Amino acid sequence: MNNLILRVVSKILIPLIIVFALYVQFHGDFGPGGGFQAGVIMSAAIILYALVFGLDAAEQVIPSTLLRVLASMGVLIYGGVGLVSLLFGGNYLNYTVLASNQIAGQHLGILLVELGVGITVFSVMLIIFFAFAGRGRI
Amino acid sequence: MLSEGNLMFIAVSLAILVTMALALARALMGPTVYDRIAAANMFGTKTVLFIAVLSFLSGRMDLLDIALVYALINFIGVVAVLKLVDHGDFHSSGKEESKAAEVDQC
Amino acid sequence: MAFKYGVLLFLFWFLLSGHYGLLLLGLGLASVALTVFLMKRMNVIDHESYPIHLSAHMPAFIVYIMREIFSANIDVIKRILLPGSNPISPQMLELPLPQKTDLGRVIYANSITLTPGTVSVNLDKDTILVHALAKETADELATGKMASAIPDYSVGQEGR
Amino acid sequence: MDFFIGHYNYWIVIILMMLGFYTVISKGNLVKKIVGLNIFQVSVFLLYISIGTVTGGAAPITTEGVVLYSNPLPHVLILTAIVVGVATTALGLALVVRIKESYGTIEEDEIHECDHSL
Amino acid sequence: MLIIDILSWLCLGAGGVIGVIGAIGIHRFPDFYTRQHATGITDTLCAMLILSGLVLQAGLTLAALKLAMIFLFLFITSPTASHVLANAAMHGGLKPKLDVTATGGKS
Amino acid sequence: MIDVIIDVTVLAFLTITAVAIVRMTNLFAIVMLFGIFSFLSAVMFIGMDAVDVAFTEAAVGAGISTVLMLGTIALTKDRKEKYPGGHRPWLPLAVVIVTGATLVYGTLDIPAFGDLNAPSQKHVAPYYIEKSMEDTGVPNIVTAVLASYRGFDTLGEVVVIFTAGIAVLLLIGGRRRKSDVAGQAGEDDDE
C-alpha cells in the first residue's frame, strides 16, 4: 500500500504490539493474559505488517513452512511437557515433578505449557490469514 | 464487582455510554458504509475510555491492559477496509494498480 | 542502532511489567531480543520507526499541538452547538508539503487530522489534500503556521 | 421484581441466541449465516459467564484481603472457546470461499438450483 | 489532595460532556467527511480530558503510566485511522458535499 | 446499582446491534456491526468479572475476526445479500419463538443471577479458589485452572485449533494454477 502515513505509523506500532504480546504471554500468571491472548495479539501485529507492506514481504519475514513447523511445535511442546512429567515419575501433565518443589515445578510447567499454547495460536492464526489473503494469487 | 464509590466515575461512565449510544445510532443509520466504519472505529475508542473508567470504578488496574490492547490494535480493521477499497484483495503489494473493489455506498 | 532500539523496547517492557523478578526480567530481555530480530527481518529499524533524534524538539511541539487541539475543539464544538451563528462551510484544499523528511510529513498530516476541523484526506509527493469544516479553519491552515511548527530534521542536521 | 432483576440477564442472552439462530436458519447468504452463528456463539459465552458470576465477587485473581471471587471455571472454558471459535469460524469461511469458487455463488437458493440442474 | 480531586473531577466531567457533544455532532453534520471532524472531537479532547482526569486520580503509580501509554497510543492511532478512513472513502468514490458559496480552496 | 445500569444498557446495545445485523443486507455493514458486537460483549464480560475472557475477546474481536470476514468478502466478491426477505420467514420464526419460549421456561428454575448459593458455585470452584495459590503459586486462578488443573482440556483445545488451521490450509491454502484461474473457478482440488 502506498500510504505514507500508514507505513510510518505501522513501523512505530508493530514492535510495540509485539513486545506487548510477549508481555501478555509471560504475565499470564499475575494478571489477565496468557498464551491464547498473546498468540492472537502477536499475529495481529504480523497481519498489520502484511496489510501495509504486502503479503509477500510478510511471508519473507515469516515463511509459511516455518509457520507450519511452529504450529506443530506448539502442540508438541504442550504434549512434551506432559511426557516429561510422565518420565519423571508423575502423572501426565502433572508438573509438580519437574522441579525440586511443588511451587517451582508447577510454575515452570505452566510457563512452558502457556508458551506452547501461544506458539500454536500465533502460527495457526497466521496460517489462516495467509491462506485467506493469498487465495486468488497466481 | 463495581463498588458504590466515586460519583464522578459513575457520571463519566454514563456519559460515555450516551456517547456510545449515539455512535451506535450512527452505525445503524449509515447512510454510507464509511459512516458505519467510522462509527465502529469511534465505538472502539469509546470502549477504551469506558474500560479505563471501569477499571477505576471497580478498583482493578488489570483492566488497563485490555484498554491498551484496544488502543494498539483497534485500527487494523480500518486498515483492512482501506486495503480492500484500494486493491480489492489482501495480497497485492501496492505497486500495480489493480482494480479496486466497488463498495456499495448504502 | 538496533541495540539502542532494543534498549528503548526494554524500557517499554519494564514500564508495562511491574514485576521485577530475575525470571521476568530475563524473559523480558528474550522478548526484546526476539522483537528486534523480527524487526530486522522486517527491515523497519530506521529513523522513522525510532525518531529519537527529534526528542529535543518534541516538548515544544507537544505544547504547541495541545494548544492547537484545544482551540480547534472549542471551534468545532461551537459549530455543533450553535449552527446558527457558526455555520459550517466544508472545503477541500490542497496545501504544499514543505517538510523534507517523510517523518515530518507524517507528523504534519497527523497534526492536521488531530486538530478537529481539518482532516488530511490524501498525501501526495509534495501536496496534501485536506478537508476542512469551515472556511476560517481552512484559511488558518493555509497560512502555513502549523507547517512551520513541525519538527522536521533528518538525522544529519538534528539540533541536539 | 427480584425475580426480574435476577433473570433479565438470561432472558436477553436467550433473545440474542434466538436472533443468531434465526439468522442461521432463515437467511440464505452463507457469510451472513456465519455471522449469525457467531452471534449465537457469543450468546452462549455470555450464558456461561452469567452462570459463573457472583454478586459482589471479584475477578478470579488472588489479591490480599479479598475472599469472594467469581467462579473461574466458566472463564477457563470460554477463554479457550473464543479462540477455538475463531479458528472454526475461519474454517467455515474457508468453506464459503470454496463453495463460491465451485458454484459461483454464496446464496443457498442458487446453490440448490445448481445441484438440481446437474 | 482536595485540589487534585477537584481538578480531576473537572477534567472527567468536561471530558464526558465533550464526548456527548461530539456524538451529537455526528448526527448534526451533513455528510461523511464533516462527521469525521465530530468524531475527531471525541477522539482527541474527550479522550485527553478523561484520561488526564484518571491519571490525576491514580497518582504516581504504574496505573498512571499505563494510562499515559493508552493516551500516547490513542494519539498515534486515532488520527491515522481517521486519515485512512477518509482516504478509503475518497478512493471508494465518495464525493464530499462542499460549500459552493464560499470561494477559494480546491474545486 | 450502577453495575446493574451498565449491565442493562450494554445488554440493550447488544440486542439492538444483533437485530440490526439480522436486518441488514450489506455485508460490509454486517461485518462492521459485528465488530461493535464484539466490543460490547467484551465490556459485558468485564462487567461480569471475567477479565481474562474479556481480554481474549478484545484481542480476537479487534485484531482477527474483522480481517478474516473482510478477506472472505473480498474473495467471494458479493457485497450484498441477494434475497433479504428469505422466502417464507414464518416457519423459521415459529421455530425460533418456540425454542426461545422453551429456553425461557427453562430459566424459571435457574438460581438468580449472581447467587452465591447456586449449585454451579458449590462444586469444584471453591476448591480452585482456595487451593490454587498454595498448589501452584500462581495468583491468576484462571491461568492455574487452564494450564494445571485442567491441562488435558486445554491440550484438547490446542489440538482443535491446530486441526482447524490444517483444515483451512487444505481447503484454501496453496497457490492456484494459472489454468484453474483462466478456466473460471477451479472445479476441484487445486493443490
* F81-117 per-position pLDDT tens digit: 777 666 677 898 999 999 999 999 988 888 888 888 8
Q: How confident is the model at residue A70 (pLDDT cuts 50, 70, 90)?
A: very high
Phi then psi for E48, rounded to 5 degrees?
-60, -50
Could you say which residues of chain F have pLDDT below 50? 182-191
For residue C93, the cross-strand partners are: C130
3-class DSSP state of F99: helix
**What residue segments make up the domains of chain F, in order of their start?**
2-79+128-185
CB-based contact F48:D60 (threshold 8 Å): no
Query: Residue F87's pLDDT is what?
Result: 65
Report the range of poorest mean pLDDT among B10-24, B83-97, D34-48, F117-131. Answer: B83-97
Question: Does the pLDDT value for residue B62 go beyond 50?
Answer: yes
Among B48, B84, B102, pick the best mutation site for testing chain E contact (most E Cβ within 10 A).
B48
What pLDDT is stored for residue B3 in this prediction?
A: 45
CB distance from D40 to chain F under 8 Å? no
CA torsion A101-A107-A111-A113 (nearest 10°) is 70
- Residues in D touching A137 (Cβ below 8 Å): none
* A71 closest CA partner among A131, A125, A111, A124: A124
User: Residue B12: which residues within 8 A CB-CB, separation 6 or more?
Assistant: B53, E12, E13, E15, E16, E50, E53
Question: Any idea what the Cα angle at residue B46 is, between residues B88 and E19, rounded to 5°?
Answer: 120
pLDDT in tens, C84-101: 888 888 888 888 888 888
pLDDT for the residue B2: 45
For F80, list phi and psi in degrees, rounded to 5: -140, 150
pLDDT digits (tens, 9 = 90+) for A24-46: 999 988 888 889 999 999 999 99
pLDDT of residue E91: 86
| Residues B46, D110: Cα–Cα separation, whole Å | 41
Is it the case that chain D and chain E have 3 or more CB pairs lying under 8 Å apart?
no
How far is A36 from chain D, CA to nearest CA, in Å? 7
Cell matching residue B103: 463498495
pLDDT of residue F179: 53
pTM for the whole thing?
0.92
Q: CB distance from E77 to chain B under 8 Å?
A: yes
**Sign of the CA dihedral running C82, C87, C91, C96:** negative
| Residues contacting A55, CB < 8 A, separation 6+ | A130, A133, A134, A137, B90, B91, B93
Please name the CATH architecture into which domain F2-79+128-185 falls.
Up-down Bundle (1.20)
Dig out the grid coordinates for E101 from the structure: 458559496
Distant-in-sequence, close-in-space partners of A119: CB < 8 Å, separation ≥ 6? A35, A39, A70, A71, A73, A74, A77
Distance, C-alpha F168 to centroid of its chain: 19
| Chain E CB contacts of C138 below 8 Å | 104-105
- Residue E40 burial by CB count (10 A; 0-12/13-18/19+): exposed, middle or buried? buried
Q: Which residue has the higher pLDDT, C57 or D21?
A: D21
Q: Any residues with CB less than 8 A from the CB of F80 and at least 6 apart, and which? A: B104, F25, F26, F27
Q: Which of A4, A6, A19, A52 to mutate against chain E (most E CBs within 10 Å)?
A: A6
Comparing CB atoms, the residue among C66, C93, C119 nearest residue E105 is C93
Residue B18 sits at the vertex; the CA angle it makes with E20 and E7, to the nearest 5 degrees, is 55
Count of domains observed in chain E: 1
D16-29 average pLDDT score = 92
Contact at CB, B28 and F26, closer than 8 angstroms: no
Neighbors of chain E with 3 or more C-beta pairs under 8 Å: A, B, C
Domain range for residue B27? 4-105
CA nearest to F24, candidates C21, D78, D19: D19
User: How many CB pairs below 8 A link D and F?
Assistant: 279
pLDDT at B93: 64
Q: Which residue has the higher pLDDT, D6 or B68?
A: B68
**3-state SS, residue F145:** helix
pLDDT at C155: 60
CB contact under 8 A, B69 and F46: no
Number of domains in chain D: 1
Please say if the pLDDT value at position B5 is more than 60: no
Burial environment of residue B30 by CB neighbours within 10 A (0 to 12, 13 to 18, 19 or more): middle
Cα separation, B90 vs F172, in Å, equals 14
Cα end-to-end span (Å), chain C:
17
Contact A26, B60 (CB under 8 A): no
Could you tell me which residues are beta bridge partners of residue D61?
Answer: F140
For residues D13 and D56, give the distance between their C-alpha atoms in angstroms, rounded to a whole number.
Answer: 21
The residue type of B82 is L
> What does the H/E/C string look like for chain C?
CHHHHHHHHHHHHHHHHCCCCHHHHHHHHHHHHHHHHHHHHHCCCCCCCCCHHHCCCHHHHHHHHHHHHHHHHHHHHHHHHCCCCCCCCCEEEEEECCCCCHHHHHHHHHHHHHCCCEEEEEECCCEEEEEECCHHHHHHHHCCHHHHHCCCCCHHHCCC
Whether chains D and F touch (3+ CB pairs under 8 A) is answered by yes
Runs of H (alpha helix) within F48-183: 51-59, 66-76, 90-107, 119-122, 125-136, 141-144, 151-172, 178-182
F72 near A129, Cβ under 8 Å? Answer: no
Question: pLDDT tens across C10-56, in order?
Answer: 989 988 888 888 888 999 999 999 999 998 888 887 777 677 777 77
CATH number of the domain where residue D78 is located: 1.10.287.3510
The Cα angle at residue C135 between residues C131 and C137, in degrees rounded to 5? 70
Give the range of the structural domain holding residue E79, as residue numbers without chain letter. Answer: 2-91
Residue B94 has a pLDDT of 52
- Chains interfacing with F (3 or more CB pairs < 8 Å): A, B, D
* Chain F touched by D70 (CB under 8 Å): yes
Q: What is the mean pLDDT of residues D10-31?
A: 92
Using pLDDT thresholds of 50, 70 and 90, give the confidence band for residue B90.
confident
| Whether C73 contacts E16, CB under 8 Å | no
Compute the distance between CA of residue F59 and CA of residue A36 in angstroms, rounded to an integer: 9
Nearest of F78, E87, E16 to residue D107 by alpha carbon? F78
**Residue C74: is its pLDDT beyond 80?**
yes
The ipTM assigned to this model is 0.91
- Alpha carbon dihedral C145, C147, C149, C151, in 10-degree steps, equals -170
What mean pLDDT do residues C51-75 have?
85
What does the DSSP assignment read for D1-16? -HHHHHHHHHHHHHHH
Going edge to edge, which strands form the sheet with C118-123? Answer: C91-96, C127-132, C118-123
- Could you tell me which residues are beta bridge partners of residue A93? none
Residue B103: the pLDDT is 53
Tens-binned pLDDT, residue by residue, of chain E (107 aa): 788 888 888 999 999 999 999 999 989 888 888 898 888 888 889 999 999 999 998 888 888 999 999 999 999 899 999 999 999 888 888 888 887 655 444 43
Mean pLDDT value across residues D72-99? 92
Task: List the single range of A66-75, D104-113, E15-24, F159-168 with lowest mean pLDDT.
Answer: D104-113
The rounded distance, in Å, linking the Cα atoms of A16 and D55 is: 37
Q: Report the pLDDT value the prediction gives residue F123, as an integer from 0 to 100.
A: 81
